[in-house]
Amino acid sequence: MKIAILASGSGSNLQTLIDQLHLDTNSDVEIAAVISDRPKAYALIRAKKVGIPTYVVQLKHFPDRNAFDAEISGIIETHEVGLILLAGYMKIFQPSFVRRYRYKLINIHPSLLPAFPGAHAVSDTLDYHTKISGVTVHFVDEGVDTGPIIAQVPVPVFDDDNESSLHQRIQAEEHKIYPQVVKWFAENLIHVDNRKVIIKPE
Ligand code: GRF
């Protein structure tokens, strides 16, 4: 199965997907394209190092959001990917894009949704002083971090945590659960009934 990954930043999740799936000869998951909205994203370097085609698609180079989304769709269609993963991608898609790839577009988020959606989940968690945080992997819908939840992993919050220490603990779990969800998807084990996602054989 070919997948595309969209990333805006460091790409540590991309790296685990490269290591655990793309480079694993026992896995038939191939990362066919990495797309970023930031030319300096380290994710692009990680992809280039292993020969994965990379694309920089910046909103400022397009007349409007539709044209921007169409460019990304074009890359996805060219590579005939069956799954699109967001891994620290900081742009919101238009509803038409989300509808086109419904149940083929997955995001990873550093909190136990529906708590703390949005771009500042880790600092919002610390400001609220919850005792537990975690990771959510979910299908993308038209809202911000509101789509059907595929998997969640809890992570403790410690009294002396700062944003970096908590995010590091969360990312250690991200790096295990994201490749696992991709394997489930590739094996056709993910079934969706409205908001309810069940992992089971056919
Ligand atoms: C992750 O924490 C993910 O949950 C969030 O953005 C971060 C991306 O990290 N959506 P990285 O670029 O994969 O290291």
Q: Is residue 59 part of a domain?
A: yes
Find the 117 Cα to ligand 1 centroid distance in Å: 13
Mutate to test the pocket of ligand 1, among 86, 108, 166 (most ligand atoms within 8 A of CB): 108
Find the 51 Cα to ligand 1 centroid distance in Å: 22
Find the 192 Cα to ligand 1 centroid distance in Å: 25
Q: Is residue 125 part of a domain?
A: no
CA distances from 60 to 2, 38, 65, 102 (A): 28, 11, 10, 26
Q: Is residue 9 part of a domain?
A: yes
Q: Is residue 161 part of a domain?
A: no
Domain hosting residue 50, numbered range: 2-108+136-154+171-199
pLDDT in tens, the chain (202 residues): 999 999 999 999 999 999 999 999 999 999 999 999 999 999 999 999 999 999 999 999 999 999 999 999 999 999 999 999 999 999 889 999 999 999 999 999 999 999 999 999 999 999 999 999 999 999 999 999 999 999 999 999 999 999 999 999 999 999 999 999 999 999 999 999 989 999 998 7
Q: Is residue 24 part of a domain?
A: yes
pLDDT of residue 92: 87
- Residue 129: active-site member: no
Please, is 63 exposed, middle or buried when counting C-beta atoms within 10 Å of its C-beta (0-12, 13-18, 19+)?
A: exposed
pLDDT of residue 155: 98
Distance CA 177, CA 102 (A): 21
Domain count, the chain: 1
Q: Is residue 116 part of a domain?
A: no
Return the percent helix, strand and coil in the chain, to nearest 5. Answer: 35, 25, 40
Q: Is residue 60 part of a domain?
A: yes
